Chain A
Amino acid sequence: MSDAVGSWLITVASVWFWALIWLNQRYVTQLARSFFLWSFFITLWSIGYGITLSGLFSYDVTLAWNRWCQAMAALVAPFFFRFVCLVVAQEKAAKRYFPIYLVSSWLMAFAVIISPLFVSGLWSFGIYRYQPLGGPLYPVFTGLFWFITGHAYVVAWRAIHVQQGVERQKTRAFLYGTALVYTGAATLFLQGYRLPIPSFGVYLVLTYVVIIGYLVYRYEFFDIRSAVRNTMIYSVLVGGITAAYLVMVLVTERWFAGFFGYRSLVATMVVAGLIALGFNPLRDRLQGLIDRALFTGTPPELAAQREQLLVEVRKGDQLKAVATLAAGLAHEVKNPLAAIKTFTEHLTTHYDDPAFRAKFQTIVGGEVERINRIVQQLLEFAKPVPPKLAPLQLVPLLEQTLDFLGQDCLARRIEITRDYQSPGPLLGDASQLKQVFLNLFLNSLEAMNGHGGQLTLTTRQDGAELVCTVTDTGTGIAPEHLVHLGEPFYTTKPQGTGLGLAVVQGIIKEHGGRFSLTSRVGQGTVAEIRLPIAIFIQ
């Protein structure tokens, strides 16, 4: 009975988070959507599983609900597969296998519901009035589930070996976190094999759904690594508390049984009610404690801190960018100034020469216009405006930003290589994107200071995304520092070196894109930006 409450809490928690998130459209990212599809089937499963464990219904009704829940469990697998593929950025694997897994899981779900070969009946043990009993084909059903789930882990594991730095840690933490929930889930199949194992695993699933849902909502899921890390801590703590409660349930039931002389449904319901009453406040307190310990603030405080920090970072970064630009642009202005100066100096002596006057007009006029353009560009950069999305092409924007640094590249003996395979039609804010690339270029230049090197820019299309990479052959970033760069809002001080990248991340996120950084010490750094491609209708 108590496990049924756990199972239904999964349902309630999931539905609540969907409502929160879907009512607030700005949180619906591709990753969040895929997570919610996964947890959607966990919810459908949890309804039927809760009914099975409750023992409140007749044998036939419970059997029908159990077949339903097993069918929904079959559908959890393909959506988990796709979610994992997105987390580790293996879209190709998702595209190749997800349709096959989805179709075979649908067929399996259908078969489980209509055929007694998968779930043949129900049996009882311990505190459970009903637990499912597998039929001859039950191993086929569980086999498919674990095959697809296992493949998700294989994809993630391979991605780990290709990834470096923060990406790698992120994936690893994600795998550990989900392994925890699947360890819980694994114990829920064993009863079908007539093994009298209690269904405590539902609490691990519950914890996972609650925590991830909470983090998607609260922290916009922008840093899945911290989400998973914190999930693991929550899971362990909540798991411990749940275990304590279960001991209490068992003891109380024994006591009631001794008192009344029979196993009482009332006793079970009273204890279940106690759990339901005690569980939520305790969980809330736990969340508050952990938020305070890990994020140094309660959620509202934290949100305020983050906003404040973001504003400061933007301001500081903008000043830095403007200072750099001012230096670069001062140089750009000196060329036209040299020409204007020379021509005006010669004006009095050469005034009678019509050829000189014509040249004066074109050269001086042109150079004044050029200075005007440069100043205009500087203003565009410096303006603190909210993002204004407009159709633009990424490649000319990259080149314009690069122009500011041409002299720097030259001075530092940096060769620029370009491999533009897509012009990059986007909906974006030109000045903000310029700021992004200026930051990345400056980082690269800094990394290659004194050594010379190569700065490589690429653009290509990958599905509906434009992938742009900025690669340098600089000093690289040590893994421990790279980790630091990945989570500026949680842990670093505003003086930290990684704050420029925080702005980069913020802007890219506002454009609906993704930003990642891989690096190897002594070899260089690759910054990858993925932005949704826009199709312009002329």
Chain B
Amino acid sequence: MARPRILIADDEEGIRESLNLILGDTYDLIFAHDGEQALEKLQRNQVSLAILDIKMPKMDGLQVLKRVREEGVRTPVLMLTAYQSVELAREAVTHGALDYLPKPFEREQILKAVKGIIGH
């Protein structure tokens, strides 16, 4: 059985590599460096989950979320955020994101949230 595919969009290499360490063994990961790339990859690829950072160049995570929802893409979305934009992340939830994860994150927290959405 093919491994579930997850899109990780964050402009920081450190965060992308960290999520790769946590999720890379279990899931098939694709990466985006900014909002536009994230949108493009979401439109072209079938993914089981998208993890979007809120603060990204070109388009922020919230804008990406709104655009894909407008286009009818129902991919589950998790938002990544630092404490200052918790309100923004809550807003994301009202726009159809499933949850938000604060930075810095715990390995177990990430695994649990992802498992909760993908189911295995």
Contacts and interface: CB of A to CB of B under 8 A. Distances in A.
**Taking chain A's interface residues, is the majority helix, strand, or loop, or is none over half, making it mixed?**
helix
A339 B55 contact: no
What interface size band does chain B fall in? 20 to 34
A377 interface: no
Given A334-B104, A407-B55, A410-B85, A342 B22 contact: yes
A346 interface: yes
Contact of A411 (B12, B13, B85, B107): B85
From A330, A339, A341, A408, name the one whose CB has the most chain B CB atoms within 10 angstroms.
A339
Nearest to A350: B21
Contacts, number: 71
B71 interface: no
Contacts of B104: 334-335, 337-338, 341-342
B82 A335 contact: yes
27 contacts: A330-B83, A335-B82, A337-B104, A341-B18, A341-B104, A342-B18, A342-B19, A342-B105, A343-B18, A345-B107, A346-B21, A346-B107, A359-B17, A363-B13, A363-B14, A363-B18, A366-B14, A367-B14, A407-B55, A407-B82, A407-B84, A407-B85, A410-B54, A410-B55, A410-B88, A411-B84, A411-B87
B11 to A, nearest CB: 9
Contacts of B18: 338-339, 341-343, 363
B83 A338 contact: no
B104 to A, nearest CB: 3
B55 A406 contact: yes
A342 B107 contact: yes
A198 interface: no
A339 B14 contact: yes
A337 to B, nearest CB: 5
B15 interface: yes
Contacts of A359: 17
B69 interface: no
Nearest to A341: B104
Interface in B96-111: 103-105, 107
Given A407-B84, A410-B60, A363 B17 contact: yes
A474 B54 CA distance: 24
A357 interface: no
Contact of B14 (A335, A345, A411): A335
A292 interface: no
Interface string B39-79: 00000000000000011000010000000000000000000
B12 A339 contact: yes
Interface string A256-293: 00000000000000000000000000000000000000
Contacts of B14: 335-336, 338-340, 363, 366-367
A222 to B, nearest CB: 38
B117 to A, nearest CB: 20
A342 B21 contact: yes
A194 B97 CA distance: 90
Given A339-B12, A343-B18, A331 B84 contact: yes
Interface string B1-42: 000000000001111011101100000000000000000000
